[in-house]
Structure 1
Amino acid sequence: MNEKINIVFACDSNYAQHATVAMMSILKNTAAPARIVFYLLDDQIDAAVKEKIQTSIEQAHAAIHFCEVEADRFEKFFVSGQLSRAAYFRLEMGHLLPSSVDKVIYLDCDLLVLDDITELWDYDINHHPLAAIMDLGIMASSKDWHGKQEQLGFSEDDIYFNSGVLVVDLKAWREHDYGRQAEQLAKENRYRHHDQDALNQLFHRDWQPVPLRWNVIPPVWYLFLKILKRRDFRRMAIEARKHISILHYAGGYKPWEYEVYTAFNAKYYEYLRQTEFRSVKMPQPDPRRKGRSIARQLRRLKLADFWQRFFTVV
């Protein structure tokens, strides 16, 4: 099959290196790199940085297109923590990508794809506008989940998804102007989880769940106690950890902020070395966030491995 696989990222110059590493992880784990077409929603990325991105991707036998975003339209949107306005750019996909593109995979920049992306592309979304992966971190937290139910109008039986990995029917997205609808919701509400909350409210009960291994976030990777305590969540998390298809470094601990630690970020450095960013100074700690010891994360991973073995045996 020669159908192109359209994959969307969004970033500024600060995250361009990491987006490129994520792209390289896709290309190195697919049997058909020539089918991959990347669309980078571009928040004023420097020309020299763009050249590095393009060279990296083309040398790996894939294509990339830069789509400039009218970033000023998001100037007054609520952001907090490490989030930048680029997080909202995915809402403009329908207007920024060529009209001939009617299906895309959207990915955050702080992740690694460790499986063949064609499997995610071929996943049946059952005529829904999008497919996504449930966010066990939020749903396993009594405080967070009750807050979402109250703010978004969800019930206890509903499912909340993480917006870092999405398979989108872009034709339906355009026909219903879903992007602008989500933007309006984001403007009217200071959502704690920003565009992710807006998308969850907009697509309430109208999205297709995808297996958890396609978006393994830290609460799943580390098997947080709040997940272990619920048998159904524990079972899903342990199964996802056995075969991680996408490892998503959501939250405060990013792989590029530390030296190489095999269990934590060796794969990031492996794919970095295969890009034109291989010679940049590493690690790249964020000066705004200090005192975050990697030792704690390594202990968490060891403990998670223990719990996985324990619950697999019992």
Structure 2
Amino acid sequence: METINIVLASDDNYAQHTAVAMASVLINTKTPECICFYLIDDEIKAESKIKIMETVRGLHGNIEFVKIKNNDLANCYVSGELSRASYFRLDIANILDVAIEKIIYLDCDLLVYADIAEMWSVDMQGKPLAATCDLGIMASDRIKTQKHECIDLPFDVPYFNAGVLMMDLKLWRQGDYAAAIIDLASNNKFPNHDQDALNKFFMYNWQEIPLKWNVIPPVFNLFVKILKKPELRKKAIEAKLKPAILHYAGGYKPWEYEVHQGFNEKYYEYLAKTEFKNAKMPQFDNRRKNRSIARQLLRLRIADFWTKIFN
């Protein structure tokens, strides 16, 4: 059977969450033995690497740790809570062996609910990149204006979220795309960092895949700005009802709170299947000390109400 190559990038702070994401992939696929993870290692501690490796092998998957070699990535703009590991996806074509011609890239703050083999089989239509539209940005006139000004994105052209990607590395290598995008990211202070760089470079050269493969907070919270646009609302509700990947992009991370049904219970369920299962939980980020879970739970209740109204 065909090997499914999946790439993630992590430092030690996200080692546990990376293991949880990997566990969710393996638990929900019919063929875990076909999954090969490539983890771009940004100074992950030896004990954490052992736990990640034992988690993957215990669930019948395969894993290889790889190192970043491109010093140019150190020049890329970071701000807020972004770590430099976010930029590593830009150089995957050069990090991995040339025999690897196709990969799925996953952020570490997500959970996979469906068989990843289904995503692997999506037709990329000869494009070097496939992704889902970022409805949080597409629904916001203010942010669309920002994207128009900073990356020259026309108002009628879609913008994708870079947390879940399919990449044709053969095409990337043929076009030497990595060098061009890294140069773009290094010489600009884009507000959405590498995601903006990717969107600027591939503006007319990417394939849209079903939204269920990257359900981000504006979608699972059904923000009003999405509800007000019928074409986006329909996509969002369909994806919310049957998410294939739930992506905790943004401020509310599942590991920072006790278990709350409908928000983070699956994170704890998959955590229990990893070698990090005895970690002290929750793991609250002190930078968010004034961020109560109550607001997020209210958003989810409101989203459930709108789902019933519009579905």
- What residue number does 1:294 align with? 293
* 2:138 pairs with 1:120: no
Check whether the contact 2:131–2:208 (CA below 8 A) recurs between aligned residues: yes
SS in 1 for 2:166: strand
SS in 1 for 2:182: helix
Counterpart code for 2:39:
L
Shift of 1:145: 0.7
**Cα distance between partner residues in 2 of 1:299 and 1:70:** 44
SS in 1 for 2:90: helix
- What residue number does 1:260 align with? 259
- In structure 1, runs of 5+ residues without a counterpart are none
- What residue number does 1:136 align with? 135
Matches within 5 A, 1:148-227: 148-227=147-226
**Cα distance between partner residues in 1 of 2:24 and 2:109:** 12
SS in 1 for 2:9: strand
Shift of 1:75: 2.6
- What residue number does 2:15 align with? 16
- Paired residues in the alignment total 311
- Cα deviation, 1:114-166, whole Å, max 9, x if unaligned, reads 00101100000100001000000011111111110122122121000000000
Shift of 1:8: 0.2
Shift of 1:181: 1.1
**Cα distance between partner residues in 2 of 1:75 and 1:182:** 14
Shift of 1:26: 0.4
Check whether the contact 2:213–2:245 (CA below 8 A) recurs between aligned residues: yes
- What residue number does 1:250 align with? 249
Shift of 1:54: 0.3
SS in 1 for 2:262: helix
Shift of 1:180: 1.4
Check whether the contact 2:72–2:182 (CA below 8 A) recurs between aligned residues: no
TM-score, normalised on structure 1? 0.97
Shift of 1:72: 4.9
Check whether the contact 1:132–1:207 (CA below 8 A) recurs between aligned residues: yes
**Cα distance between partner residues in 1 of 2:227 and 2:79:** 29
- CA distance change for structure 1 residues 59 and 180 in 2, over 3 Å: closer, same or farther? same
- In structure 2, runs of 5+ residues without a counterpart are none
Counterpart code for 1:261:
H
Percentage identity across paired residues of the two chains: 54
**Cα distance between partner residues in 1 of 2:261 and 2:74:** 39
Shift of 1:288: 1.6
Check whether the contact 2:72–2:186 (CA below 8 A) recurs between aligned residues: no
**Cα distance between partner residues in 1 of 2:178 and 2:154:** 24
SS in 1 for 2:286: coil
**Cα distance between partner residues in 2 of 1:12 and 1:6:** 20
**Cα distance between partner residues in 1 of 2:65 and 2:128:** 24
- What residue number does 1:51 align with? 50
- Cα deviation, 1:225-270, whole Å, max 9, x if unaligned, reads 1111111111110111111000000001100000111111000000
* 2:39 pairs with 1:40: yes
Check whether the contact 1:33–1:60 (CA below 8 A) recurs between aligned residues: yes
- What residue number does 1:236 align with? 235
**Cα distance between partner residues in 1 of 2:93 and 2:230:** 39
**Cα distance between partner residues in 2 of 1:75 and 1:208:** 29
- Cα deviation, 1:2-29, whole Å, max 9, x if unaligned, reads 1100000001000011011000000011
Check whether the contact 1:131–1:208 (CA below 8 A) recurs between aligned residues: yes
Check whether the contact 2:111–2:245 (CA below 8 A) recurs between aligned residues: yes
- What residue number does 2:4 align with? 5
Counterpart code for 2:81:
Q
- What residue number does 1:303 align with? 302
SS in 2 for 1:263: coil
Check whether the contact 2:69–2:95 (CA below 8 A) recurs between aligned residues: no
**Cα distance between partner residues in 2 of 1:95 and 1:77:** 17
Shift of 1:71: 6.9
SS in 2 for 1:198: helix
Check whether the contact 2:19–2:52 (CA below 8 A) recurs between aligned residues: yes
- What residue number does 1:111 align with? 110
- What residue number does 1:77 align with? 76
Shift of 1:99: 1.4
Check whether the contact 1:36–1:63 (CA below 8 A) recurs between aligned residues: yes
* Structure 1 segments of 4+ aligned residues over 4 angstroms from their partners: none
SS in 1 for 2:263: helix
Check whether the contact 1:130–1:166 (CA below 8 A) recurs between aligned residues: yes
- Cα deviation, 1:155-201, whole Å, max 9, x if unaligned, reads 12100000000000011111111111111000111000000000001
